[in-house]
Amino acid sequence: MVSEAGQSLLVGRLSPDAELARNAAFALFVRVYLEQLGLLPRQAALQGSPAPPGQSAAPPARREPPILEVAELPGLIAAITAENPHVLAYFTDPACLEALASLDATAMRELLGWLQAQHVDQEEPQVAYELGMLALGVELPAILVRGLRRATVGPETRVAELPDGSGYPTVFLSTLHPHWPAATRACLFVAGRDAEQLAGWAMLLLARSLRPPPGSIRCVAAGDPLPSPEGGFDLTLVYNPVPWLADPGAGRSAVQTDEIVLL
């Protein structure tokens, strides 16, 4: 078993390009989660020998998963981004995608072994989200949950998360209000690439689907309007705001909302 410190060393060994290394580690993390959840085919397979005429078939023998070759990674990750362009947004750039083939093969396989042993698919969304932050090498400020706990949240509550909450407060809100269907009633606005990827991770955890629910993640930039559904949002979360939304008042005016929670 590799320790977390050992994991960091493995990530560093993936590539001398630190940005590629950390995003590749996150891509492997996401891929393992999807495989364990059953949303991607597992590498392991059951194979049995055909039975001679008149005899019962031999019981299938389990074989070890085939060794993943580094050259296969661009295709495997491209299959994910084709379905979900958010969770691995770094690799929607063709040059970044092809760079996956340059990873150190030994470090990749050792990191995959460590990731598979974590069984993130068995964790609660909040814990799994934080493990995703660790995998991507991102730190976010602590969340003050009092406002989330006191918020008025029902099954039909429409929630906007302003940039760049990265999905973190929405995951907390869903944990505190388990009757609220976060995957279909939240809209995560994002401005940065890391925020987009973590928002994609949050929606993957909440929806347990590779494809994010329509309209659940929206990329915006300074000056862009933040569109609201007809009638606006019932609740808006402001956490870790981008500089152009640093004024809490801007959060209220950015979207039509009945209630705002500053975290």
Contact between 204 and 84 under an 8 Å Cβ cutoff? The reply is yes
Rounded Cα distance between 202 and 159, Å, is: 14
- Quick: pLDDT tens for 98-131: 999 999 999 999 999 999 999 999 999 999 999 9
H-run or E-run covering 61: strand 61-62
- For tokens 């006191």, the residue is 150
Average pLDDT over residues 52-66: 51
**Confidence grade of residue 249 (pLDDT, cut at 50, 70, 90):** low
* Burial class of 94 by CB neighbour count within 10 A (0 to 12, 13 to 18, 19+): exposed
Q: Quick one: angle between helices 125-136 and 168-176, nearest 10?
A: 160
Rounded Cα distance between 82 and 141, Å, is: 31
**Confidence grade of residue 57 (pLDDT, cut at 50, 70, 90):** very low
Check whether 157 has a pLDDT greater than 80. yes
- Quick: pLDDT tens for 60-71: 455 555 678 899
Question: What are the structural domain ranges in the chain?
Answer: 4-43+69-122, 146-262
Provide the phi-psi class of 218: left if phi over 0, else alpha when psi is between -120 and 50, else beta: beta
Q: Phi and psi of 238, rounded to 5°?
A: -120, 110
What pTM was estimated for this model as a whole? 0.88
Handedness of CA 199, 200, 206, 212 (dihedral sign): positive
Rounded Cα distance between 36 and 30, Å, is: 10
The predicted structure's pLDDT at residue 66: 63
The predicted structure's pLDDT at residue 52: 42
User: What's the distance, Cα to Cα, between the start and end of the chain in Å?
Assistant: 37
- Quick: pLDDT tens for 189-241: 999 999 999 999 999 999 999 999 999 999 999 888 888 887 789 999 999 99
State the fold for domain 146-262.
Rossmann fold (3.40.50)
The predicted structure's pLDDT at residue 199: 98
Average pLDDT over residues 76-95: 97
Average pLDDT over residues 30-41: 93
The predicted structure's pLDDT at residue 35: 94
Q: Phi and psi of 243, rounded to 5°?
A: -55, -40
The predicted structure's pLDDT at residue 61: 52
